Structure 1
């Protein structure tokens, strides 16, 4: 193959998604022509290959699921599962290659390091430095001062000036200005109806990447609903509903591919932004603004500036990285000036919610020491699958009551919230006056539940109507309910029972366990709980 022919082949794969996917799958199966295999190694195709395999991965899992639900012969099912495993492995390998290629591109491309005094001052008193920078920018007639001016947005401001070429096209403005729900609907139309050529525009591509996961979750939601419809009817009359399940997988495959494409396009945008703000006249302008802002900072904060100067001079006399500008030393130095540990990341400020950093040797039952004797305590857990949004949840209470069920969730965190809400509502119904305490091993779910009486705030981490409706019902009783964190998978009886029920609920919801076997499994779980060490409060 000549160089021209190879170049043409690479260009064809870059422009023709179907041809690229067929070639990638042929290479995966070992039946690819040598010249095609060589073309696929070209660096420019590393990203497109991950897009093609993201699409193929969803379709392969969809084929397996259809075979499972349509009673295909075991041999065919084995072949489909083997193919799905190969596609998943090929996808992982392609993403690793893409990541490695990206790392090579970043070598030697670090942004010039600001002088140490500037970085220490900026971190020791960010508000003061930001105000000094605002004043400098205003004095130069640059941005107007409010949110464009602070240090964190200088790069974006420079890019906006570089890219300014008049107003973007009307469809881009519409995508830029619509609310989040409308934007996600646009992403769903892009996948299900017609590709939107305006999504890669610089003005909206970051928003596209940010909301692509939500759109993909709605694809999995459609799969979950289609699965439920299939399982609700006898195998002999499933043909039409299986076709609907195929359609849902097709749409979700496109959503997965477009999500990956959005990520690659954002990476490319950031590369262009980096080049813009680190080279040429804009880089010089930013350096001048920062240096002048530091002088303003020194005038406004003379005592702090004196401390910064004294500390940095002493530090640079002995630092082994002094020749490189001490690129990683400013955090620790700023911490010495402010008496804040450099690893501190801040708190929510309410002090009510435990975090995942609870030391392992802390008594896991101490969280209940402040509860009244009348409190009803239960543990909730959830399980999610890979293919669809179907999830299972389960819970077990100190008084011996248990429950489990299934729903639809966009993430494991949302599934955990569903489990918490379902357990709390059931316990509230059977205990009219007692306070109810739900323990959960998901920090995300603990932080998302009952933090505000405003339903719109509670809905921000919940995507699907099922979880939002449960949360709305629970918010009416928030004065009687507490949600706390409990370290999971440490052998606690109620936690293990809730986990077992959640996994059983997911298997039942996806038809992977027949009703008779599910009843036997439920009895086994309850017997296991009955032979345990006793309720949570007794163990304390």
Structure 2
């Protein structure tokens, strides 16, 4: 093929979703035409290939699920499962290729880097350098924060800087300014009804990427509901319900593809805005302000500056990446420089080591020492699936009671919240006025429930609670909020109640998705209960 023909083929594949997906799957199966194989290697297609494989991945898993629920013979399931594994592997490989190619600037040249000393100072002593930069900005009559672009909402910032072109179209402005629920509904209509071309506008790229995952979760919710409907019918009467399940997978496949496209557009926007910052008058202003701030830093901390200069000079003398500007070396050098600072130099703003937000492992039982003897303590856990929003939860209490069930959740955190609420509601009914304490190994779930209990409003946990099932449970729990506490417990450390809750959660999920028959589930439940033994003991005593 000629260069013109190659270019035309690449353009056609980029513009035609179905043609690109057919070519990618044909290459995966070893039956792709040579000219298509060559075209698929073009760097411009690396991102679009991840989009079509996100779509194909959901459809392949949907084909497997339909076959499972229609009780197909094992020999007919094997090729479907093998194909789903191949698509998943191809998707992982495509994501890795895209990541590698994105590491190089679209122009083919590495992204520009600042002077090594500047990058070391900013990383090792962020507070001190930020103070020097603020002084320089004020001396120039510039507001704090200039001349840096924000980490998010780059498109709005670009418009404020008069760099993004003309006035926004009305449809784009409406999508940008509507509330989050309305925006998610627009994404669902885009995927399930009619494509909205306005979403591709730069002003919406980051918001689209931010909310695409929520829209995708609602697609998985539809799959979960359809699965439940199929499993409620006998195998001989499932055809119509299986068709509805197919429809849910088709819609979710489009949502997955559009979510990946949104990510690509957001990353592309970031690249273009960062590139714009690196050129022209704005770049000159950035360089001048940072260089002057570095000089102020050196004047304020001469000994520190001398030490940093010596270390960077020695490093650059024999660094194999010197020709590349020591692009990644500042991280290690910042650690070396910070180690040379005496403890008394805390005023320079040495970066503090990160601390765990969760309680230390040694404190996980001490948290219960303040409870009254009448307190009822239980551990809750949850399990989520890959294909749909179906989840399982389980709990086990010190008094020997246990429970498990299934629901729908958008994330593992939401599933854990459902488990906490189910355990607390059940135990408060069994124990008249006793305080109920639920332990859980998910910090997200503990924080969400605790926030809602303190506020007296389920909306306070809206970032974790997306679906009506969890919100309704939380609403019920709030009427008992003065009797309920939630606390964090380190998970999977061999504690009986934690392991029991986990086993029940996994059993409940397998039962909910039909992978464990009713009789087998009863036998497994009995086995889990036998493993507890006659004496549960207390969590506090287990320390």
TM-score by length of 1: 0.88
Q: How does 1:79-94 map to 2 (within 5 A)?
A: 79-94=79-94
Q: How does 1:165-314 map to 2 (within 5 A)?
A: 165-290=165-290, 307-314=300-307
2:530 maps to 527
1:6 maps to 6
| Residues 104 and 111 in structure 2, CA contact (< 8 A), matched pair in contact too | no
Q: CA deviation at 1:247?
A: 0.8
Between the aligned partners of 1:252 and 1:120, the Cα distance in structure 2 is 42
Query: C-alpha offsets along residues 278-305 of structure 1, whole Å, 9 cap, x if unaligned?
Result: 122220022234456778xx6xxxxx98
Q: 1:161 to 1:525 in 2, by over 3 A?
A: same
Q: CA deviation at 1:322?
A: 6.6
Between the aligned partners of 2:42 and 2:350, the Cα distance in structure 1 is 47
Q: 1:268 to 1:232 in 2, by over 3 A?
A: same
| Residues 392 and 407 in structure 2, CA contact (< 8 A), matched pair in contact too | yes
Between the aligned partners of 1:382 and 1:257, the Cα distance in structure 2 is 28
Between the aligned partners of 1:397 and 1:122, the Cα distance in structure 2 is 49
Q: How does 1:24-423 map to 2 (within 5 A)?
A: 24-105=24-105, 108-113=110-115, 116=118, 119=122, 123-125=126-128, 128=131, 132=135, 135=138, 139=141, 145=143, 149=146, 151=148, 153=150, 156=154, 157=157, 160-161=160-161, 163-290=163-290, 307-319=300-312, 320-321=314-315, 327-328=330-331, 329=333, 336=341, 337-338=345-346, 342-345=351-354, 354-355=358-359, 358=360, 362=362, 364-423=364-423
| Residues 219 and 255 in structure 1, CA contact (< 8 A), matched pair in contact too | yes
Between the aligned partners of 2:525 and 2:285, the Cα distance in structure 1 is 69
Range that drifts further, 101-110 or 491-500? 101-110
Between the aligned partners of 1:150 and 1:397, the Cα distance in structure 2 is 56
Between the aligned partners of 2:117 and 2:125, the Cα distance in structure 1 is 11
Between the aligned partners of 1:22 and 1:532, the Cα distance in structure 2 is 60
1:350 maps to none
3-state SS of paired residue (1:405): strand
Q: 1:3 to 1:306 in 2, by over 3 A?
A: closer
Q: 1:397 to 1:290 in 2, by over 3 A?
A: same
Equivalent of residue 493 in structure 1, options 496, 517, 521: 496
Between the aligned partners of 1:54 and 1:251, the Cα distance in structure 2 is 12
| Residues 510 and 516 in structure 2, CA contact (< 8 A), matched pair in contact too | yes
Q: CA deviation at 1:420?
A: 0.7
| Residues 450 and 478 in structure 1, CA contact (< 8 A), matched pair in contact too | no
* Unaligned stretches of 5+ residues in structure 2: 318-324
Between the aligned partners of 1:94 and 1:101, the Cα distance in structure 2 is 11
Q: 1:476 to 1:71 in 2, by over 3 A?
A: same
* Unaligned stretches of 5+ residues in structure 1: 299-303, 348-352
Q: CA deviation at 1:19?
A: 0.8
Cα RMSD for the two superposed structures: 2.9
3-state SS of paired residue (2:255): helix
Between the aligned partners of 1:136 and 1:168, the Cα distance in structure 2 is 35
Q: CA deviation at 1:52?
A: 0.7
Q: CA deviation at 1:177?
A: 0.6
**Does 2:477 correspond to 1:474?**
yes
1:301 maps to none
Between the aligned partners of 2:521 and 2:239, the Cα distance in structure 1 is 26
TM-score by length of 2: 0.87
**Does 2:455 correspond to 1:458?**
no
| Residues 298 and 305 in structure 2, CA contact (< 8 A), matched pair in contact too | no
Q: CA deviation at 1:530?
A: 2.0
Between the aligned partners of 1:343 and 1:85, the Cα distance in structure 2 is 44
Q: 1:127 to 1:220 in 2, by over 3 A?
A: same
Q: CA deviation at 1:73?
A: 2.8
Q: 1:136 to 1:206 in 2, by over 3 A?
A: farther
Q: CA deviation at 1:115?
A: 5.7
Range that drifts further, 212-221 or 154-163? 154-163
Between the aligned partners of 1:276 and 1:418, the Cα distance in structure 2 is 46
Between the aligned partners of 2:116 and 2:281, the Cα distance in structure 1 is 17
| Residues 158 and 282 in structure 1, CA contact (< 8 A), matched pair in contact too | no
Between the aligned partners of 2:535 and 2:27, the Cα distance in structure 1 is 53
| Residues 51 and 257 in structure 1, CA contact (< 8 A), matched pair in contact too | yes
| Residues 392 and 406 in structure 2, CA contact (< 8 A), matched pair in contact too | yes
